């Protein structure tokens, strides 16, 4: 499945989303709809590959938090390889308290 500059790979209990560009209000409405539709049959784990994302606004952060809510107490949302700017935002917002953040090596 493809959403603009985003690729989804959904295997049974794991959803992998690779985002390219910026995660900003209005740019990823298809992804937002897809995430909301997951409430019926949520994956256990969701991984967002953010290695190509330079900027995330409050709507983008909200989308990540919604994904975290959908996985529930038994699931994990992983934010993989955020860029330096995005990592700074995650530190300020304390996203590490909600989700697993995997920094590039």
Q: Identify the structural domains of the chain with CATH numbers, from first to last.
A: 2-102 (3.30.750.24)
Q: What pLDDT score does 35 carry?
A: 84
Q: What pLDDT score does 2 carry?
A: 43
Q: What pLDDT score does 8 carry?
A: 63
pTM for the model: 0.86
Q: What pLDDT score does 9 carry?
A: 65
Sign of the alpha-carbon dihedral angle for 72, 44, 9, 100 = positive
> Which one-letter DSSP state was computed for residue 105?
-
Q: What pLDDT score does 55 carry?
A: 92
Q: What angle do the packed helices 58-71 and 29-37 form, to 10 degrees?
A: 20
Q: What pLDDT score does 96 carry?
A: 95
44, 70 Cβ separation under 8 angstroms? no
* Residues near 46 by beta carbon (within 8 Å), at least 6 away in sequence: 14, 15, 16, 17, 67, 68, 70, 71, 75, 76, 77, 78
Q: Could you state, in chain order, the average pLDDT of each consecutive group of 10 residues for the chain (105 residues)?
A: 54 82 79 83 89 92 93 92 95 96 85
């Amino acid at each position: 499945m493809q959403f603009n500059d985003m690729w989804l790979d959904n295997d049974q209990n794991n959803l992998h989303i690779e985002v390219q560009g910026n995660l900003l209000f209005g740019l990823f409405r298809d992804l937002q709809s897809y995430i909301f539709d997951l409430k019926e049959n949520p994956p256990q784990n969701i991984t967002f590959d953010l290695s190509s994302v330079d900027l995330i606004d409050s709507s983008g952060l909200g989308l990540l938090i919604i994904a975290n809510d959908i996985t529930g107490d038994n699931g994990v949302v992983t934010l993989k390889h955020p860029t330096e700017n995005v990592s700074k935002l995650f530190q300020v917002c304390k996203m590490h308290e909600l989700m697993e953040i995997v920094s590039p090596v």
